Amino acid sequence: MAMGAATATLARSVGLNGGPLTELYSRTPAIIAQGAAGFCCLTAAASKLVSRRSNCHPKPFAWTGAARCMAYAATLKEAVQTDKAPAALGPYSQAIKANNLVFVSGVLGLIPETGKFISDNVEEQTEQVLKNMGEILQASGVSYSSVVKTTIMLADLNDFKKVNEIYAKYFSSPAPARSTYQVAALPLNAKIEIDCIAAL
């Protein structure tokens, strides 16, 4: 009541009939309530739409949306395995094919048949790394020319020049994008490890 009287007084002070202004004030809570209800309905509808869209692939209705997405994503990647390259040293694949790309895990200079390093020499390990990588790429249906990105990890960055000379024999122009790092240590005390990404 106090607010209604104040509204009427304000209207008269500016030369307006307080009736319409007072009526608008009295209706304001209802207008706000209607707007809030409409917003809630819109939010609920949008939530249902997003929920439907997030169900990536038709699966039994008992599955949750997250489970459906995970199962569908699993069908989009394929593991690559070849006996012509060293076996994985842990719970990972030699390579994964997904989204028209091949992701090759870090490769060491191991002899596939023995699982031992070809030698303690960084040049010979580099040659063996790249040969092993070539076998994995071939098993994936691609080749060195398909590689778009490599990462080289060295135990000693002073070996950079030696590695470069050998590396250049395997990747023709335009050479893949590349990152090179010196790391604190590599698996099995390797001198070098290289991973790569190739286009299918």
**Residue found by looking up tokens 């030698």 in the block:** 119
83-103 b/e with 16+ CB inside 10 Å = b?
eebbeeeeeebbbbbeeebbb
Query: For the whole model, what pTM was predicted?
Result: 0.65
**Residue found by looking up tokens 């009939």 in the block:** 17
- Rounded CA gap, 44 and 67, in Å? 23
Q: How many residues does the chain have?
A: 200
**Tell me, what DSSP letter sits at residue 88?**
P
User: Tens digit of pLDDT per residue, the chain (200 long)?
Assistant: 454 555 455 445 545 554 554 454 455 444 444 544 444 333 444 444 334 444 444 454 455 666 665 666 666 899 999 999 999 999 999 999 999 999 999 999 999 999 999 999 999 999 999 999 999 999 999 999 999 999 999 999 999 999 999 999 999 999 999 999 999 999 999 999 999 999 99
Domains defined along the chain, listed by start: 2-73 (no CATH), 77-199 (3.30.1330.40)
Q: Are 25 and 35 within 8 A, CB to CB?
A: no
